[in-house]
A and B are shown apart, each in its own frame.
Chain A
Amino acid sequence: MAKIEIENVYKIFGDNPEAALARAMAGEGKDEIHSDTGHTVGLHDITLSMEESKTFVVMGLSGSGKSTLIRHINRLIEPTAGRIVVDGVDVLTLNDADLRQFRRTKMAMVFQRFGLFPHRTVIHNVAYGLEMQGVEKRHRQDKAAEWIETVGLAGYENSYPSQLSGGMQQRVGLARALCGDPEVLLMDEAFSALDPLIRSGMQDQLIELQEKLHKTIVFITHDLDEALKLGDKIAILKDGRLSQVGKPEEILLEPADDYVAAFVRDVNRARVLTVDVVMRPPSLRLTTENIDAALREMQGHRDDFGYVFDGDDFRGVITERHLRRAATTNGNSSVYDLADDSQTVTADSVLEEALPTILQSDTPVAVVNNDGEFRGVVSKRELIRVLTEHREEPDEAAQEPKRTGP
């Protein structure tokens, strides 16, 4: 079961949301409802499922409802209709005391403008979550000091937030959120207010922390590059409606509508897509040690190269020319020894890193995972297709996002 389930959530802002809700449910557009009733449809029929220990990114431009959506998860905002289920518990059924307990223990939030307490020192800010949990002072100070060190702010324990730079303040925000050991981390445009270089550093730090902590992270951003970098799964929100939900490569390679397509047009795919997205099964697998047998197999095939396996072990790639030369000079040697395994790329490296190896090789390059097991091959042609296909789309279609709703 998913950690967080958001089911058919609607949020209408205004004095009489019920009336506007009926119209929204009947399928009327946001603009129509706004001009007729003065109510704003913040979220329109959002259904999402967020897996445990994964980073779920909600991406959208300002006004798309993404910050509204994240505040529904810890009920800082109440939905007009729908259900929000965390760990099987419908959050909307909690009473005030249970809701506070839920916020204290289950989740923590990082804010766009940091939301630090200006009158508390760094260490007292970081310890705030534990203070709310009722943890004894000495213990929470120790824990806070550890987290301050983890985010690289050792020595600033007794500074006030106003004495720190933006990047340092957000590190405090991150440490404060993590210090209470929440299961879910809600990050509302957490890095948007930072300089690009610092933002990138914070993203790396988050990825590094996540590898150790395996929290369920809900990350809000307006920056597609950030979404692609951090997200295990991405939801794209437009005018309060979901445009698409999928893995980063699905968003990039199969945009669901013109709006998403327009977004992903300018993404540097080489930096985002990993090798396993473009890899294919090898056209020819050679499982024999005998040169003549290998040659015979190759001649019956359209390619003049093959991938040599000793059982399940990948031994390397070999070309027909290489085999022939070996057959005339040294007919007894093993195909396993002749195969060239010097050129491989790892499955989870991004295309940009794999690019030189793939381009310099005459044959499609073997893809292995981190343990050295064979996963597939990646060819120059496939690589070029993936990196360039979106540029051939007609511009008009991409520039005018399709209007949703009737």
Chain B
Amino acid sequence: MADSNWLIEFPALSRDTLRLLQRSIDETFREFSRSYGQALEDFFEPLLWFMIWFERLLLNAPWWLVIAVIASCAYLASRNWKMTIGVIAAFLAIGIFGMWEDTMRTVSIITVCTLLAIVIGIPIGVMMARYDRAQATITPVLDVMQTMPSFVYLIPVVMLLGIGRVPGVIAVIIYAIPPVIRLTNLGIRLVDKDVLEAANAFGADFKQRLFGVQIPLAMPNIMAGVNQTIMMSLAMVVIASMIGVKGLGQPVLKAITNQYFSMGLFNGLAIVAIAIVFDRVSQAYGHRIQKHRQVGH
């Protein structure tokens, strides 16, 4: 590439330089994963242990008991009989079509992912709402997390932790956590300034403001974030199955590679059914805890 050509051709780095750059990045990372991979695996050991325990719990419990527990959760959250009956019907259908075990695996991983996303995401959202600088730093990170194709960050995760449940959960959380963080931040920032000032005037401290005023009033937004997070983790189930997460994603993957249309359809529909159950129940719960918003005057 002659020097005079730079106006016409983009003056890109030479192929050798690029190769060197990529290789050095790869080697550094490989070196990193070699020295810290074991430590990280040990760090995630309790998580793995919990996930296996929870999955076994769901798989070993009699099916009717599992359905009863899920149905009563749905009823407690929504206080709606129609919705509860719908939930029971959905899970019965899944069982009849022979997808019970895969569904239980998926439900268990989704539950763990959602819980972790809430536990990690809400404090980050609170911090973002409190410090503008935190918001300025974290927002672009969330943008990257949401737009980066999931396959790309599957690579380093697999390099670090190999194939299995834990890397699957991490991949799912990276993809699904942004909504709960964003909406917690937004919800707290949207809390009426007058109400917050009143709390201040009565001498509320940081904790009393946060748990007594800000989080309760931000609840509709936080619940919308949790809801989105659940939906997005379900969407990741198929991709996560590529790195060894068992559940409804694996038959779908098999169906894609072997062109089994009906197999893909059934398992896909099972994912949809779980999604609808989780979505409706969490929304009904979010709505119900906001009963003070229903103006009765």
Using CB atoms and an 8 Å cutoff, list the residues of chain A in contact with chain B: 74, 76, 99-105, 108-109, 111, 113-121, 128-129, 132-133, 159-165, 180, 186
Which of A103, A113, A117, A165 has its CB near the most chain B CB atoms (within 10 A)? A117
Is B194 part of the binding interface, using a Cβ–Cβ cutoff of 8 Å? Answer: yes
Whether the Cβ atoms of B194 and A128 lie closer than 8 Å is no
Is B58 part of the binding interface, using a Cβ–Cβ cutoff of 8 Å? Answer: no
Using known A-B contacts A162-B295, A162-B297, A163-B295, determine if residue A104 contacts B198 with beta carbons closer than 8 Å: no
Interface residue from A99, A105, A115, A180 paired with B194 (Cβ < 8 Å): A115
Interface residue from A116, A119, A133, A164 paired with B198 (Cβ < 8 Å): A116
Residues of B within 8 A of A180 (CB): 202
Using known A-B contacts A117-B213, A164-B297, determine if residue A108 contacts B194 with beta carbons closer than 8 Å: no
Question: Could you list 27 examples of A-B contacts with CB < 8 Å?
Answer: A74-B201, A76-B201, A99-B203, A100-B203, A100-B204, A101-B203, A103-B201, A103-B202, A108-B202, A109-B198, A111-B197, A115-B194, A115-B195, A116-B198, A117-B213, A118-B195, A118-B292, A119-B216, A119-B292, A128-B199, A128-B202, A132-B202, A132-B204, A161-B292, A162-B292, A162-B296, A163-B296
Closest 8 CB pairs of A and B: A115-B198, A104-B203, A103-B203, A160-B292, A109-B201, A100-B203, A115-B194, A163-B296
Residues of B within 8 A of A108 (CB): 201-202
Is B60 part of the binding interface, using a Cβ–Cβ cutoff of 8 Å? Answer: no
Question: Beyond A116-B198, A133-B203: 19 further Cβ-contacts under 8 Å?
Answer: A100-B204, A101-B203, A103-B203, A109-B202, A111-B198, A114-B194, A115-B198, A115-B201, A117-B195, A117-B213, A118-B192, A118-B195, A119-B292, A132-B203, A161-B292, A162-B292, A162-B293, A162-B296, A163-B296
Interface residue from A76, A100, A132, A133 paired with B197 (Cβ < 8 Å): A76
A304–B295 Cα distance when bound, in Å, is 71
Is B208 part of the binding interface, using a Cβ–Cβ cutoff of 8 Å? Answer: yes
Whether the Cβ atoms of B292 and A103 lie closer than 8 Å is no
> Nearest A residue to B213 by beta-carbon distance?
A117
Shortest CB distance A81–B (Å): 23
A102–B213 Cα distance when bound, in Å, is 20
Whether the Cβ atoms of A165 and B297 lie closer than 8 Å is yes
Shortest CB distance A115–B (Å): 3
Using known A-B contacts A118-B217, A119-B292, A162-B292, determine if residue A113 contacts B201 with beta carbons closer than 8 Å: no
Is B205 part of the binding interface, using a Cβ–Cβ cutoff of 8 Å? Answer: yes
Is B28 part of the binding interface, using a Cβ–Cβ cutoff of 8 Å? Answer: no
Residues of A within 8 A of B259 (CB): none
Residues of B within 8 A of A116 (CB): 195, 198
Residues of B within 8 A of A165 (CB): 297
A133–B203 Cα distance when bound, in Å, is 8
Which of A114, A128, A180 has its CB near the most chain B CB atoms (within 10 A)? A128
What string of 1s and 0s marks CB contacts (under 8 Å) between B176-201 and chain A? 00000000000000001011011111
In chain B, positions 2-20 with a C-beta closer than 8 Å to chain A are: none
Which of B203, B213, B296 has its CB near the most chain A CB atoms (within 10 A)? B203
Indicate the size class of the contact surface on chain B. 20 to 34
Residues of B within 8 A of A113 (CB): 194
Shortest CB distance B223–A (Å): 14
Residues of A within 8 A of B213 (CB): 117
Using known A-B contacts A160-B292, A162-B295, determine if residue A102 contacts B198 with beta carbons closer than 8 Å: no
A100–B208 Cα distance when bound, in Å, is 12
Whether the Cβ atoms of B202 and A76 lie closer than 8 Å is no
Residues of A within 8 A of B194 (CB): 111, 113-115
> Nearest A residue to B290 by beta-carbon distance?
A119
Shortest CB distance A124–B (Å): 10
Shortest CB distance A109–B (Å): 4
Shortest CB distance A227–B (Å): 22
Shortest CB distance A106–B (Å): 9
Whether the Cβ atoms of B293 and A118 lie closer than 8 Å is yes
A186–B201 Cα distance when bound, in Å, is 10
> Nearest B residue to A113 by beta-carbon distance?
B194
A116–B198 Cα distance when bound, in Å, is 8
In chain B, positions 73-104 with a C-beta closer than 8 Å to chain A are: none
Using known A-B contacts A102-B203, A160-B292, determine if residue A117 contacts B297 with beta carbons closer than 8 Å: no
A164–B295 Cα distance when bound, in Å, is 9
Shortest CB distance A188–B (Å): 9
A276–B140 Cα distance when bound, in Å, is 71
Residues of A within 8 A of B208 (CB): 132
Interface residue from B200, B296, B297 paired with A103 (Cβ < 8 Å): B200
A161–B245 Cα distance when bound, in Å, is 49
Residues of A within 8 A of B297 (CB): 162-165
Shortest CB distance B54–A (Å): 33
Using known A-B contacts A101-B203, A104-B203, determine if residue A117 contacts B295 with beta carbons closer than 8 Å: no
> Nearest B residue to A100 by beta-carbon distance?
B203
A240–B86 Cα distance when bound, in Å, is 64
What string of 1s and 0s marks CB contacts (under 8 Å) between B262-297 and chain A? 000000000000000000000000000001111111
Shortest CB distance B129–A (Å): 18
